Amino acid sequence: MTKFSDLNLNPKVLKAIDEAGYETPTPIQAGAIPPALEGKDVLGIAQTGTGKTASFVLPMITMLARGRARARMPRSLVLCPTRELAAQVAENFDTYTRHLKLTKALLIGGVSFKEQDRLIDKGVDVLIATPGRLLDHFERGKLLLTGVQIMVVDEADRMLDMGFIPDIERIFSLTPFTRQTLFFSATMAPEIERITNTFLSAPERIEVARQATTGENIEQGVLMFKGSRRDREATEKRRVLRELIDAEGEKCTNAIIFCNRKTDVDIVAKSLKKYKYDAAPIHGDLDQSQRTRTLDGFRDGSLRFLVASDVAARGLDVPAVSHVFNFDVPGHAEDYVHRIGRTGRAGRDGKAIMICVPRDEKNLADIERLVQREIPRLANPLGGDAPAPQEPSKAPEADSDDKPKRSRSRSRRKEIPASENADTQTAETGAPEKETVTPKPAEKPAEEPRASDDTAQDNQKRSRGGRGRGRRSDNDRNNGNERNDRGGNKVVGLGDHTPEFIGLSFKDRR
């Protein structure tokens, strides 16, 4: 069996590894470290939770142990798709470089430029960054990439799939052609692999597991759920989530709950807190300091439930996550692999449960096609296959959107017969049908008492927006009426403003 001592690593690096409690490398580490130490490009593919970060950190610091960094010219560069993943890579460097005099800088958003500039000005051996913040520093003239010897793209498929292709291409163009490039990812679709061929030169391909596989130590299940009504589906779905958590009992020591949208992350977290579950949200719109506090609380056990968007699916390394709940079926099948990879890490057992509504069945089929297995179906914890009933009115409302929205104004509601139910119509047809109201022509009585001068002037102001220009006197009004009423041919509907030529046309017809 291969040991770290057999991989030609720096003795000081081996000492740090031993102090961290590791003796045997994982398959991806054993396969990627030797060619990386030889200076070859590496394309590493392995499922999440198998130690890909150490696969490039250990050879990098071994090769960087010799030499010295210059101001504003880092010697190596690690690109990460999210702040959390970048922070995790930085922690790994701190662990394995405790006996080496190597410096690093972490360039991520949500942090002041001033402190980052200070580190860059001193010169760093390792620069860990997200693409956006890295380019910000470069455009401000604070950074040069001409001294990069080793470049790493962590979670390469996610970097390319998230729309970072233009940024990645620009960053590569700013680095020397002679650099060494390492790509690591859990999934590598064929179309993305063709793009990586542009960046790597004769890479050593290390694939220790079939692409997009899930760990055998993770128990998976999916609950097929359909709400009783469309406007109640979200409320009932949150109740099903709480029932699933309760059904796991003490086995659910902590869990990550994934949602597709940031708004749903906040709503689900608020709902859980309303029902006395210890939960907190984390997504890209939160301040970096708040995200850090939330993650620290989840890691040290003071927070039980972490409600997250996919920003936490990559790079969140908490070894003892017992459960993962997919409140929404992910839109991309590859994201499912990364989400459930947050549990069952380091050889532990884990459990992943997903809730699927009818509109997400196509995404579910894509996931089963990707992982090449059928995910077992779970029974509704509320009993039977029927949808969850509406929550009783005495229970506290989880959030403001639990109440069905009114689809009719009060004035329109008066026109609906009492036998009709607007809410039932909304549930059956999705939206109430619009009623067609035919306006009736307002006929003037033959003899109508003339309003007083004050009343007439007020009406005139209202019809003209309160402005008094063009105000007609009573004599002018009477003359107009006489022209329109000759011979009893009164023009209905135009009032006192009938043009004279219309009266003439009726006159000719006589």
The pLDDT tens digits for 182-223 are 988 777 767 677 777 888 888 999 988 666 677 788 999 999
For position 363, what pLDDT does the model report? Answer: 95
Strands across the sheet containing 204-207: 104-107, 126-129, 76-79, 150-154, 180-185, 42-45, 204-207
Burial string for 436-471 (b: 16+ CB within 10 Å, else e) reads eeeeeeeeeeeeeeeeeeeebeeebeeeeeeeeeee
Strands 255-258 and 323-326: parallel
CB distance 307 to 336 below 8 Å: no
Whether the full predicted model's pTM is greater than 0.85, yes or no, is no
Whose structure tokens read 């099948």? 333
- Give the other-Cβ count within 10 Å of 16's Cβ: 20
What pLDDT is stored for residue 191 in this prediction? 64
DSSP per-residue letters across 289-313: HHHHHHHHHHHTTS--EEEE-GGGT
Predicted pLDDT of residue 209: 66
Task: Indicate if the alpha-carbon torsion angle 45, 48, 54, 56 is positive or negative.
Answer: positive
pLDDT of residue 212: 65
E-assigned strand segments in 194-303: 204-207, 218-224, 255-258, 279-282
Predicted pLDDT at 223: 96
pLDDT under 50: residue ranges of the chain: 385-438, 441-457, 459-479, 481-488, 507, 510
pLDDT at site 2:
82
pLDDT at 318: 80
User: Which residues, listed in sequence order, are joined to residue 223 by a DSSP beta bridge?
Assistant: 355
Residue ranges, CATH 3.40.50.300, the chain: 4-207, 218-392
Residue 166 makes CB contacts below 8 A (sequence gap 6+) with none
Pick the CATH number of 218-392 from 3.40.228.10, 3.90.1860.10, 1.10.30.50, 3.40.50.300: 3.40.50.300
| CATH superfamily for domain 4-207 | P-loop containing nucleotide triphosphate hydrolases (3.40.50.300)
pLDDT 10s digits, 228-269: 999 999 999 999 999 999 999 999 999 999 999 999 999 999
